[in-house]
Amino acid sequence: MEIFQENNNDVEIFSVKGSLDSNTSPELETKIYKALETGQRKLILNLEDLEYISSAGIRVMLKTAKDLKRMEGNIVLCSLQDYVREVFDIAGFDGYLNIEKSLEEAMVKI
C-alpha cells in the first residue's frame, strides 16, 4: 500500500493505493491521527487507486469519522472503485460515511 498526503486549502487529502487490510491499515491510521493532532479537522480519503479493503480498513474510516464528528470536523471518501463501493453498500456504511464520486465533489462537500 502507498499513501500520498497533501494539503489543499486547509483540507488534508490522503490518496490510498493498493490494499487496505489488517497489515496496512495501521499506517493509514497513524498518518490520519498525526494530522488530527496538528489540528486538522477536514479530511478527504481519495480511494481511486484502492484495490482492496478489509474490515480493518473500514474500521479506520469509521473510527476517524466518529472522532472527527466529536471534534466538529468532517471526513469525505471519494473516487471509490465499484467493487470497493459495494463493500460499503453491503455493510450499510454508505449511509454513515459521506462518499462522493470525485475529488472535486469531495472538496465541495468538505
Give the tens place of pLDDT for each residue, 57-69.
Answer: 999 999 999 999 9
Q: Is residue 109 part of a domain?
A: no
Residue 27 sits in a domain of what CATH number? 3.30.750.24
Q: Is residue 46 part of a domain?
A: yes
Quote the number of domains for the chain.
Answer: 1
Distance, CA of 64 to CA of 43 (rounded, Å): 9
What does pTM read for this prediction? 0.93
Residue 58, domain extent: 2-103
Q: Is residue 110 part of a domain?
A: no
The order of strands in the sheet holding 74-78 is: 2-8, 11-20, 42-53, 74-78, 98-100
Q: What is the mean pLDDT of the chain?
A: 95
